[in-house]
Structure 1
Amino acid sequence: MIREANVQDADVLAILLEQLGYENTSSFLPARIQTLLEHPDASLAVYETEGRVVALLCLHVIPQIALLGPFLRISYFVVDETMRSVHIGATLEAYALDVARKKGCDRIEVHCHERRKDAHRFYARCGYVESPKYFVKNLHVRSEDA
């Protein structure tokens, strides 16, 4: 079952994010979840099976200036490592596609780190094509500013 995440999911979402390599999110995750739930262009969904959250999908609709439709960005997408290869990812990707269509998006983008080879194969199976060159400039934010 797919449902909107809530602040009470913070502990399990921290575990899922840790599987992606994002450690130590517990102290700020409840506030981030609340911010995303209140943001009109964001969606934070979880996949639940037998009362247990086993996957996270974070989406953002981003308006464009040079093209007619906005695009949907998959910001975070993780299925618990013990639940992979049972079609949860495909179900969530279909959910993202549905959201994109309902929001009038002209494409879906996802950034997936080079080291995540299994995820690359998953996205290719879902019809995504590689669009190289992604540049990032890290801004060092003080913890009191976060």
Structure 2
Amino acid sequence: MSDLEIRPATPGDLPAVVAMLADDPLGAQRESPDDLTPYQEALQRLADDPNQHVVVAVRQDRVVGTLQLTIVPGLSRRGSTRSIIEGVRIHGDERGSGLGTQLIQWAVDESRRQNCQLVQLTSDVTREDAHRFYERLGFTASHVGFKLAL
């Protein structure tokens, strides 16, 4: 897959990124591809924060994948820095191509480069295929997560 480029997301990438975020039953309920304004504002906030990395995978000038990597300094684990992988999405016609593995490997490599001692991610309980994928890559289901909508 030498024709693949992983680079920071730009405002011009947002239509493709938001379409991927909305392209499943969960995302269809919570994303709004017809109004990119909140996504534009969010991308600018993320771009202004050096601990945030929103990237896209591009093949033949087409955005085919995305993820967000957050670097989190902390006190626990002897002052360890961790990273959090969020919003992993692969375009429907690229699933099963190895692209997801490449994106996650980019995130793990960047986490190492940023001196993180731990990489973590969450996945909705209904995404069983994603769980198997992450386990194949060496992640373990070690915690129970909770959310509070505000």
Q: TM-score normalized by structure 1?
A: 0.90
Gaps of 5+ in 2: none
Query: How far apart in 2 are the matches of 1:122 and 1:116?
Result: 10
> Are residue 137 (structure 1) and residue 135 (structure 2) matched?
no
CA deviation after TM superposition for structure 1 residue 33, in Å = 1.1
Query: How far apart in 2 are the matches of 1:115 and 1:27?
Result: 29
Matches within 5 A, 1:12-27: 12-20=16-24, 21=27, 22-24=30-32, 26-27=36-37
Asked if the contact 1:71/1:107 (under 8 Å) is kept, the reply is yes
CA deviation after TM superposition for structure 1 residue 112, in Å = 0.2
SS of match in other structure, 2:84:
strand
CA deviation after TM superposition for structure 1 residue 40, in Å = 1.1
SS of match in other structure, 2:105:
helix
Matches within 5 A, 1:1-146: 1-20=5-24, 21=27, 22-24=30-32, 26-67=36-77, 68-139=79-150
SS of match in other structure, 1:114:
coil
Q: Which digits, 9 at most, give the CA deviation of each residue in 1:21-63, with x for residues without a partner? A: 1421523111111111111100011000111001011010111
Runs in 1 of length 4+ with deviation above 6 angstroms? none
Query: How far apart in 1 are the matches of 2:118 and 2:138?
Result: 11
CA-based RMSD of the aligned residues comes to: 1.2
SS of match in other structure, 2:76:
coil
Q: TM-score normalized by structure 2?
A: 0.88
Q: Which digits, 9 at most, give the CA deviation of each residue in 1:44-95, with x for residues without a partner? A: 1100011100101101011111223210001211111221010111111110
SS of match in other structure, 2:92:
coil
- Name the structure where helix makes up a greater proportion of residues: 2
Letter in 2 for 1:19: D
Task: Give the aligned length.
Answer: 139
